[in-house]
Every structure is written in C-alpha cells, then in structure tokens.
Amino acid sequence: MSEITAVKGREILDSRGYPTVEVEVTLASGHTGRMLVPSGVSTGKWEAHELRDGDASRYGGRGVRKAVANVNGELAEAVIGLAADNQAFLDRRMIDLDATAQKSRLGANAILGISFAVARAAAAEAGKPFYRYLADAYRIEGDLRIPLPMVNVMSGGLHAGGKLDVQDYMVVPVGASSYPEALEQVSAVWQATRVVLNASGYEAFLVADEGGLGPALNSNEEGLEILCRSVEQAGLKPGSDIAIALDVASTHFYDPTSNEYVLGADGSRLTSEGMIDRLEKWVSSYPIVSIEDGLAEDDWEGWRRLTERLGERIQVLGDDLFTTNGERIQRGIDLNAANAVLVKSNQIGTLMETVEAIRLAKFAGFRTVISARSGETEDDVLADLAVGLRGGQIKIGSLTRSSRLSKYNRLLRIDEELGGAFEGGKVIGG
C-alpha cells in the first residue's frame, strides 16, 4: 500500500444549502479517495466539534473556510507520507495534533474528511469496493448483508416547521424478505401517507430536512395514528409487515431548569418518570419497535429506568446520549441505560473511532444503527459503511431527495453484488 502524497480540501454545499467540507486524497500509486462531510442540526452536546467560521458576512457564519484551511495546511502536512492503510496511526496522529477533547481546534469536519478520504483511496488501490475493504480491514463478525432501514415518513422537532415534538416518525419494513421489496413497501406507505394526510385535512408538502412530510398535526399521538392508517391504506399490516420507529430527540424539548420534558403539541410537562410512562403508553398502543432518544442526553438514571421498563419489548436507542463516543457508550453498557447505539461518524470525527464504537456496542450485545445526518450530500459512503461494518440497521431519512436516495440506491447495487442479502426484521426482533 502506497503513501499519501496529496490532500486537498474545499468548501461545498450540503442538502440544506449550508457549507460543508469535502476532502480529496491522492496516494503515490495515483489512486484517489474523496469524502463529503455531513452535518446535523439536532446535535448532542457531547459531539465532536464542527468548526465553522462564525463570520456573519458569509453564509450567516456557517462557512467552513477555517476547517478547509486546516485540511490544506496543518493536517495535510501531518499526514502526507503516511501509509494509507494504517488507519489507526493516521487517525491517532490527527487526534494528537488537534489535542482537544472534542476536536475543536482543527475541527471534526476537517479530520473526518481526511480520515474517510484516505480509507477510500486505500480501497481504490486495493481494487475493492469500499464496503469490502472495510469488511476485510476490520473483520467485525457476521455475514455481509444489506441493513434493515428505518425510513423517515414524517418529521417534527428541529427538522420541520410544524408543531410536533417528536422529530422522526419512521417505518421499518420488518416483514420484507428482500431489500428491493422493503423499498417497494416503504414507498407504498409513503405515498399512502400523503393521501391519508390530505384526507384528514392536512397539507402534505415536503418540508422537512430529511425529505419527509412536515404536517402540523395536533398531537404527537396523531402522528402514530396516521402512520398506522397509512400502512393499512397501502395494503400492508401494521406490526407484522411494517413496524414503527421513533426518534423522539427529547434533549431538544427538555427544560433543564425545571427538569421537565415539555411536549408542546400535547400540552404536557412531564418528569423523567412521566415521560417514560408516556413512551410506554405509545409502545402499548402502537406497533413501535424502536425509540431513539426517548429521554435527554444526560438523564442517565432515566435511561436506566426506561431500559428496565421497555428494553425487553423494544430497541432503546441512544443518539444524543452516546454521540458515538466510546466512553459514553461504555457508561451506557455499565448502567444498562439502553440496548442500541446510533452511529454517526461525524459525532466522533474519525473512521477508527467509529469502528471502535461499533465494536464496543456489539461486544456488549447492543445493536447498532448506522445513521446519516439531517444535513447530507450526494456522497453514498454511508451505505458501504453500514454493510462493511455489519451495522445491522441503517437510518438515512426519507425516500425522497437525492441526498437520501444516493445511499438507498447504492444499497440496491451492493445488494445485487452480494446476490441478494437482506438483514430483514429479525435484527430488530421481528
């Protein structure tokens, strides 16, 4: 494997039209790799730092020229000459150079771009598709399979202009026997949801950041009702064909001064215990198989009780809670505070740390869901990452917009290469 000879960063735009970092890496062999870095808005406090310029005269302060300058300057200087297939050494060098806890000096967006671009250049030199390169390099146990998708249908919270508190209403094709069939069923539900919303007097426009519908429903439960009706309208059975997954993203409506969860759409102010009661009621009334961020990012004791009460029945999934951070995942394992980890590589900032997070979760028997951000690009790397690292499940967003479809479509191609290998509902207990 040859060494890195050039690193080039540039500022590009993401699916929200905000600047983000792109990195291209060239190896001595002439092979190249590129990475387009995603970006969230419903971010966790413990995430690695996304470096933005803060200069309000450009993109309202969202420019990433400083991060790009770090890619082209200090970081390039530190990694040029390193072997492209020693990811641990490369990532460690960048982490040490940054020398802050949350990669805030050089920017996790700068570091992640190089980390992945180098791995993709190495895959190109090895003559392997990226998922195969990852599978061979990291050897996480299990067959290579297309992960079970949880697909956004309606959005609330910070991703949509409506009044819903719950951020993501998703469907999970637990009954599908192949990945193409899963997409077909989810698409039918998606079309049916527009019909059901219109018939209920709601305007079903595409307004949300992940390509989903953003209706101004009257309560959070109404969203669950509408999802079930849409599944039936599509000729499918709620529960056995299509189950429901929620990302409550409750950190963003938790009030730390009163220690209450403030559900504006339902007119409720709930304690941690009250919030768990509310989630349990939803789980008992609707075919929910997974709840992400049902409680706030630092409510560890609440998470422990939530898992005690619902962990046998559903997937208790931590996003803002864990932020793909090994130390936080370990704490969650020790406390029994969840049973699954959402994995977003830009929350932690390097490929190596992403792999470590997945290994840690799997070793403890936790499930993993490999996830996109609400701000995405045409880059399809997430599909290869989820297959190659045996993610089991994937969360990309809705079945609209090319920033989402680039990944769903890449999975169709990988599925073909693997001769049809779908994870299916069993990964989530279906």
Provide the annotated active-site residues.
210, 344
What would you report as the CA-atom Rg of the chain, rounded to the nearest whole angstrom? Answer: 21
Of all helices (H) and strands (E), which one includes residue 388? helix 381-388
**Residue 376 binds Zn ion (CB under 5 A):** no
Nearest approach, Cβ of residue 162 and ligand PGA (Å): 16
CA distance 30 to 307: 50
Stretch that binds Zn ion, among 150-158, 210-218, 221-229, 319-327 (CB under 5 A): 319-327
170 contributes a contact to ligand PGA by CB under 6 A: no
**247 counts as binding Zn ion under rule CB under 5 A:** yes
Binding of ligand PGA by 41 (CB under 6 A): yes
Q: Which is nearer to Zn ion, 9 or 157 (CB)?
A: 157
Q: Quick one: 26 or 315, whose CB is closer to ligand PGA?
A: 315
Nearest residue (CB) to ligand PGA, 241 versus 320? 320
Told to check if 297 binds Zn ion by CB under 5 A, we report no
Residue 160 C-beta: closest distance to ligand PGA, Å: 11
Minimum CB separation of residue 171 from ligand PGA in Å reads 16
**Other CB atoms closer than 10 Å to residue 402's CB: what's the count?**
13
Nearer to Zn ion, 129 or 156 (CB): 156
> Min. distance of Cβ 82 from ligand PGA in angstroms?
30
Q: Tokens representing 11?
A: 């500022």
Tokens 């969203």: give the residue.
Answer: 223
Residue 159 in contact with residue 41, Cβ under 8 Å? yes
- Read off the amino acid at residue 326: G
Side by side, which strands form the sheet with 254-255?
254-255, 260-263, 268-270
Other beta carbons within 10 angstroms of residue 29's beta carbon come to 15
Cβ burial of 3 (10 Å; 0-12, 13-18, 19+) is middle
Tokens describing residue 371: 């996830």
Least distance from Zn ion to the Cβ atom of residue 247, Å: 4
User: Counting contacts by CB under 6 A, is residue 294 touching ligand PGA?
Assistant: no
Question: Residue 46 has what DSSP assignment?
Answer: T
Q: Which is nearer to Zn ion, 132 or 278 (CB)?
A: 278
Residue closest to 148 by CA, chosen among 189, 176, 190: 176
* 214 is a site residue for ligand PGA (CB under 6 A): no
Assess 19 for contact with ligand PGA (CB under 6 A). Answer: no
Q: Which partner in ligand PGA, Zn ion, none is near 373 (CB below 5 to 8 A by kind)?
A: ligand PGA
Tokens of 48: 């690695």
Going from the C-alpha of 247 to that of each of 50, 81, 151, the distances in angstroms are 22, 43, 11
Binding site for ligand PGA (CB under 6 A): 40-43, 167, 247, 249, 319, 371, 373-374
Binding site for Zn ion (CB under 5 A): 247, 319
